[in-house]
Structure 1
Amino acid sequence: MEAEKFDSPFKGRSLLTWADYSPEEILQFLDYAILAKKQAHNKEIHQRFLGKTIALIFEKRSTRTRSSFETAFGEEGGHPVFMSTQDIQLGGKESVKDTARVLGRMFSAIEFRGFKQEHVQQLAEFSGIPVINGLTDEFHPTQALADILTLQENFGKLKGLKWVFCGDGRNNVARSLMIISAKLGIDFAIFAPKELFPPKDIQDLCAPFAKESGAKIEISDDISVVKGADCLYTDVWVSMGEEALKEERTRLLKPYQVNKELMAATGKENTIFMHCLPAVLGQEVTEEVFESSASKVWDEAENRKHTIKAIMLALI
């Protein structure tokens, strides 16, 4: 398919959270990702970002996000410029607003991976170019789309599926999965201790989306919530910036570890396991499950690249 086919209706928009997009629009991004992956596996070479540049701002370290953005943009003929906190004065000597206005005059787009959601919002508001949220403390939309692609590949459908996030229900991945599931009509549950339930504002945000799509959203500390799950999903117990809480988190989350017993508790033989990576084996997941045939983590990791390329093609 030629570049013109990516003349999407999203050009010039930003992706800060999937709450800003309709179910039909999210599925269009998914279709772009399926196409991008097919083209990659066919060894097709396109130059759809030729003459374009993207600023990659990273306050937090990354393997998959940085690799995906740099390789996807570069392979398409574009020029990615990596900027760490050592390279720019974001929010320090120079305000986020001023940084946005400068970068907006020099780049075709901006990716931001950092702490504050308000920073990525300010970049989008003042830069005048598409801004992509590569991760904040609140949301991780590019991860969510890769996970949706992985679900689609494994089950051939999305509606009617159920997946369960096990662990820290407040974290950015859990929030993003809740939003995208509520939008697309996928049943989604969080299996977590009461202390780590997602905040009320995110629940209230998702409620009308779920009502419209028919998705069932559950939040519980009872193991029965995993029954019927097509996928169990987890993330690290201690997120970046919360290292001091390791002992407390380990105590709270040990009963929510994804292990052979929890996989069996779904009552399904074909339940898959997913993890956004990096994983700490023996904590949130056992090595037995992580290395099993049910584990789709490497497909999921590869899908970060194809979905990120699709997002950039759609927006830029």
Structure 2
Amino acid sequence: MRHVLSLQDLDQQTIGSLIERAVDMADPNRRGTPLAGRVIGIYFSKASTRTRSAFSTAALRLGGDVMHYGPDDLQVTTGETWADTARVMSGYLDALVMRTNGPLAQLREIAEASRIPVINALSEHEHPTQAIADLATLREHFGDLKGRSILYVGEGNSSAAALATAVAAVPGLRLTLVTPRGYGLRPQAIDAVKQFSQGSELIQEHHDIGDLPQGVDAVYATRWQTMGVQHMNDDWLAAFDGFKVTREMMRSVGGAETVFLHDLPAVRGQDVDDEVLDGQGSLVWRQAFHKMTSAMAVLEWAVIGRPVEPR
């Protein structure tokens, strides 16, 4: 069963293939409907603009049909277990895409009971398909990821954890995460990435916003309150002082060819200035587009197992 729950469940070759396939899926001349006759279930427990739309349109563009479920649509609200729900869904659907915002263990429980692939569209600590979209965007733009460097600035959230794992799967790609102290990657995420990358020194994290790398190819920011969830500390914003991506920061760490990424939604004027988000070097809208192509690549792999080209 080809579940996509965490990138750390996949091998480096599979991650690389998914990135390449996401780039291929952007070809406007692409043809073929490998999911014709298949039904994809999409469950979202929270509001979503990009990821829900991306998976829905991805399934449709691949020829499949879509069933949508919201947080109040399933009998788990009345006490049925997720495992029993998964067993039932396995008789109706060909894959189940889920955004729970909960622990990954919950998705693993669902996947264990399923006879269909389960795809993580965002859990509490990882957003695997976001990272595939991120690197597909850079792969398309630069042509080759080897030797490139990314600076991630902001909270060590689910997007950051997935990005670190995806970077670890790409030979020669460097990532520096600069996160506020107390808002960095979880120790479990750091240990897992080190294990996945076999101790590679190309992925590093520190908390000094005054010590940024030079000559980076991409600067990546995210919203400081993931999914709009309030931080427990009322004074949390003070920890992010200096972490806003400005034109001055872009100039200080990169050059004319340095690009900007953001997983969106952005809080304009807080995590990034308008002139960066809307600037010439911004790839955020293409990055959002690649959420759909990455969803196409993941759905094709999970359901079919290999690329299916039209004859």
Q: Give me the TM-score of the superposition, normalised by structure 2.
A: 0.91
> 1:275 aligns to what?
262
Q: Map residues 140-179 of structure 1 onto 2, 5 A cutoff.
A: 140-169=127-156, 171-179=157-165
Query: Is contact 2:150–2:218 with CA below 8 Å preserved after alignment?
Result: yes
* 1: CA distance, partners of 2:128 / 2:242: 28
Give the match's secondary structure for 1:111.
strand
How far off its partner does 1:269 sit?
2.7
SS of aligned partner of 2:189: helix
After superposition, the CA RMSD in angstroms is 1.8
Structure 2 contact 214–254 (Cα < 8 Å) conserved: yes
Alpha-carbon spacing, 1:246–1:212, altered in 2? closer, same or farther (3 Å): closer
- 1:86-125 to structure 2, matched below 5 A, reads 86-90=72-76, 93-116=79-102, 117-125=104-112
Amino acid corresponding to residue 178 of structure 1 in structure 2: A
Structure 1, unmatched stretches of 5+, are 1-11
Task: Name structure 2 gaps, 5 residues minimum.
Answer: 304-311
SS at match of 1:293: coil
Given that 2:164 and 2:203 are in contact with CA atoms closer than 8 Å, whether structure 1 keeps it comes out as: no
Count of residue correspondences: 301
> AA paired with 1:197?
G
Q: 1:32 aligns with which of 21, 25, 46?
A: 21
- 5 Å-filtered alignment, 1:110-259, equals 110-116=96-102, 117-169=104-156, 171-185=157-171, 186-211=173-198, 215-240=202-227, 242-243=229-230, 245=232, 248-259=235-246
Could you tell me how far 1:224 is from its partner in structure 2?
2.1
Superposed CA deviations along residues 123-170 of structure 1, whole A, max 9, x for unmatched, are 21111211110111111011100000111122211121111211111x
The structure carrying a bigger helix percent of its residues is 1
Instruction: Tell me which residue corresponds to 1:77.
Output: 63
Q: State the 4+ residue runs in structure 1 displaced beyond 4 angstroms.
A: 244-247
Q: Which moved more, 1:274-283 or 1:29-38?
A: 29-38
**Contact 1:226 1:265 (8 Å CA) reproduced:** no
In 2 relative to 1, CA 246–54 (structure 1 residues): closer, same or farther, beyond 3 Å?
farther
Equivalent of 1:304 in 291, 295, 301: 291
Q: Residues of 2 paired with 1:94 and 1:221: CA distance?
A: 47
Q: Is the 1:181–1:187 Cα contact (8 Å) retained in structure 2?
A: yes
Closer/same/farther in 2, CA of residues 72 and 226 from structure 1, 3 Å limit? same
Residue 294 of structure 1: how far off its partner (Å): 0.9
Alpha-carbon offset, residue 120 of structure 1: 1.5
8 Å contact from structure 1 (residues 184, 213) kept in 2: no
Secondary structure of the residue aligned to 2:4 is coil
Query: AA paired with 1:122?
Result: E
The one-letter code matched in structure 2 to 1:314 is W
Aligned residue type for 2:265: P
Most deviating of 14-23 and 26-35: 26-35
For the residues of structure 1 that align with 2:77 and 2:152, how far apart are their CA atoms? 33
1:55 corresponds to which residue? 41
Deviation at 1:55, TM superposition (A): 1.0
Matched residues, percent identical?
Answer: 31
The structure 2 residue matched to 1:22, chosen from 8, 11, 21, is 11
TM-score scaled by structure 1?
Answer: 0.90
